[in-house]
């Protein structure tokens, strides 16, 4: 695998998709529909998916591609595959809250090893380098030439004063009950895969997800967090969260800095 080329292509496609998303975001109105699973989809999801899917298939025709917006791709069973959520945080997009992201990742042998998370409305972009480490690129962003890169690393947490990040749109009592098992210094809310990135940069120590997610929701952020020295484990047994599962549905999980003393469910 030519990881340098992979990262360059994923980064460029994320920026192209982000530009198209922001054009639609700036419009007075945009089309919103409800999918068969009752989740919303907008013309921005579909436009971004078209850009990313076409670009990945052209650059890497030998790799399987799984993308949220193409149901036929959900039957893939490859050991190595690309996985895309062209617009994660559609509810944030619809409500114009800005916490939405473009997510592209590579999964190898059950783990997301490379990925990019771009939050166009926030002007933040995180990705893994060819060697596996994670960085945040400082804007403004040029599609063909990366700007200044800042290596990112998870925190060395104080278990007596943890920083916790939780979902903005999917917060519930079960999440609050689990967070209540920890000694928390402060909490913040964020949408989409930005929560993984806040743990990756050390802005948060712990992100528990007691709710439904799919692999395309998490793979890119998971890759960035792994590259920053973090971990993502299943909620029930604290074993690593793996990818390529039939149907691509995730169990509940916990993303954290490695020195967080995890509590049982």
Contact by Cβ (8 Å): 218, 232? yes
User: Interior CA angle at 112 toward 1 and 232, to 5°?
Assistant: 155
Inter-axis angle of helices 3-25 and 43-59, to 10 degrees? 160
All structural domains of the chain: 3-151 (3.30.540.10), 162-256 (3.40.190.80)
* pLDDT beyond 90 at 168: no
Q: Which residues are annotated as a binding site for Mg(2+)?
A: 68, 85, 87-88, 217
Average pLDDT over residues 96-109: 95
Is-contact 48 79, C-beta < 8 A? no
Q: What is the pLDDT of residues 47-88, one digit of tens each?
A: 999 999 999 999 999 999 999 999 999 999 999 999 999 999
pLDDT for res 50? 98
CA dihedral 89→17→118→134, nearest 10 degrees, is 130
Q: In what order do the strands lie in the sheet with 64-67?
A: 64-67, 80-88, 101-108, 111-119, 124-128, 134-137, 149-151
> Of 142, 261, 125, which Cα lies nearest the Cα of 205?
261
Which residues line the annotated binding site for substrate?
68, 87-90, 217
CB 112 within 8 A of CB 220: yes
Binding site membership: which residues? Answer: 68, 85, 87-90, 217
């Amino acid at each position: 695998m030519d990881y340098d080329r992979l990262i360059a292509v994923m980064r460029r496609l994320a920026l192209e998709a982000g530009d198209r998303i922001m054009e639609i975001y700036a419009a007075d109105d945009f089309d919103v529909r409800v999918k068969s699973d009752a989740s919303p989809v907008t013309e921005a999801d579909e436009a971004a998916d078209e850009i990313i899917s076409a670009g990945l298939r052209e650059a890497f025709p030998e790799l399987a591609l799984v993308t949220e917006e193409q149901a036929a791709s959900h039957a893939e069973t490859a050991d190595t595959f690309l996985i895309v959520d062209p617009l994660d945080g559609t509810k944030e997009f619809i409500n114009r809250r800005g916490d939405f992201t473009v997510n592209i990742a590579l999964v190898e042998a059950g783990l997301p090893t490379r990925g990019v998370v771009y939050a166009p409305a926030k002007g933040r972009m995180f990705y893994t380098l060819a060697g596996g480490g994670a960085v945040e690129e400082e804007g403004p962003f040029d599609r063909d030439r990366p700007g200044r890169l800042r290596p990112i690393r998870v925190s060395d947490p104080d278990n007596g004063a943890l920083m916790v990040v939780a979902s903005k749109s999917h917060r519930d009592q079960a999440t609050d009950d689990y967070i209540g098992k920890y000694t928390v210094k402060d909490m913040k809310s964020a949408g989409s895969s930005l929560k993984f990135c806040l743990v990756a940069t050390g802005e948060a120590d712990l992100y528990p997800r007691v709710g439904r997610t799919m692999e395309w929701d998490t793979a890119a952020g998971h890759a960035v967090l792994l590259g920053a020295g973090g971990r993502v484990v299943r909620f029930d047994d604290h074993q690593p969260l793996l990818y390529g599962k039939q149907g691509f549905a995730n169990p509940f999980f916990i993303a954290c800095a490695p020195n967080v003393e995890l509590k049982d469910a």
